[in-house]
Structure formats: C-alpha cells, structure tokens
Copies of this chain bind each other. A is one copy, B any other.
Amino acid sequence: MTDHNRPFSDDERAGLYRAIYERRDVRSQFLPDPIPYPVLARLLKAAHHAPSVGFMQPWDFVLIDSLEVRQQVLASFHEENAKAAHNYTGERQQTYRNLKLQGIIESPLNLCITCDRSRGGDHVLGRNSIVEMDLFSTCLAVQNFWLAARAEGIGVGWVSILDQDKLADILHLPGHVYPLAYLCVGYVSEFLDQPELETKGWRSRLPLESLIHHNTWSEALDDQALLDQFEK
C-alpha cells in the first residue's frame, strides 16, 4: 500500500471539512493585498487537478489584473443587475438593491475559468451521451479552486450577473471557448460565519432530510437512523 493510500489523519479530514463549511461567496470583505505567486500557483494547480470527462481538462485560466478590463466587466454587471432588479417588487426589490453582489474592482485579482468546448476533438470519452459534461467538469475545477483558496485564507466570489457574450468579447475569447465562471479573488478582512443571503433574510438553508430520496424520486427515505445523523 503506497503512501497515498494511508487513511487521512483527523486533522487532515478536519481541514477538508473546514474548507467546505467555512467557504463563503465573498462580495464585500476583499483586501487589496496581492496574492503571492507560490499561493496563486497552488490554487491554479488545485483547479487543474479536478476530475474531467474523458480526462478532457477543458479549462483555461484568464488572470485579470488590468483595471481597464475589470471596468468593462463591471459595466456589464451594472447593466445586467439593473435588469435583474426589475424582477422584484416592494420590500424584496429594496433588499435586492441593498445587496452587494460583486467585488470586481476591490479584489486584487479577477479570474475567468473558461471551458474550451472543442478540446479533445469530436469524441471525448464519456461526452457522447451528455454533451454538457465539459461544462460540468469545468465547474468541478471552480470548486477545487474555491476550496483551496479558503484553506489559504483567500476569498472567492462568483459573479454570475454578467452578459456572457459581452464577457467573451471583453476577454477576446474564441468562439469555441465559453466563459464559465468569473471569479473575484483576494485575501479578506474576515470570512462571514454564515452565507450573506441567509443572514440578510433572502433565503434559508433547506433541511437536508427534505432532499433525500430512496431508489426513486417518489420514495422517501424511511430510515430514521440515517436522517438522525443530519442533525449532528
């Protein structure tokens, strides 16, 4: 049994769970401090070691520090956000308008993780039946990056209120490359204890037991012994 097959120590396992539970979608707490290269390299390598369909590795990483590029992205955000606000009325709209939804300029680094839909040719193993598997793989790289960042004390916020066509134009992406995730990245003054959308009353965390099914959708899990564990 080689070394990588030894069980995780308690601290190692706790580290993984800390990253998962204490990760936040950061909007407001960014500090301007630059990210040292050895740390940034660890985050990018973590992303690059995500699983991908047929080992396709469809991702690329556009590191953005240019203020000019970020201002163009911010303009697209403002345009899309103004449209989105009209979907809500009354108090809900007021809450929406008060939410801080991006840290494009405040964070020292923006990162676009893209998906090259042509990589690996016409027949990528495992991508024939579900053609979106390349996009899904790229998401897994995003999550690796996000968790590694948390373990390094670095916050990440995914900005999804953007026009993807405009974003592709701003970043000069070729037609076969999709700008999957636009991330703001930087050290933070603090990680919030709970998701901001929860503390600000936007939505609550769903009870996990309501999301569990057994063998088919219509069959609830009637095994109380497992459900009881969710409280722990």
A→B interface (CB under 8 Å): 1-2, 4-5, 7-9, 11-23, 25, 37-38, 40-42, 44-46, 48-51, 53-57, 59-66, 69, 80, 83-84, 87-88, 96, 99, 101, 114, 120, 122-123, 125-130, 132-133, 135-136, 139-140, 142-144, 146-148, 151-153, 158, 160-164, 170-174, 177, 180-181, 190-191, 193, 195, 197-198, 202-203, 205-206, 208, 211-218, 221, 223, 225-226, 229-230, 232
Contact = CB atoms under 8 A, between A and B. Distances in A.
Nearest to A206: B57
Contact of A53 (B1, B123, B160): B160
A101 B123 contact: no
A230 B43 CA distance: 10
Given A148-B17, A190-B5, A217-B171, A126 B101 contact: yes
Given A17-B42, A211-B59, A25 B51 contact: yes
Q: How many copies of the polypeptide does the oligomer hold?
A: 2
A20 B7 CA distance: 15
A10 B79 CA distance: 43
B144 A45 contact: no
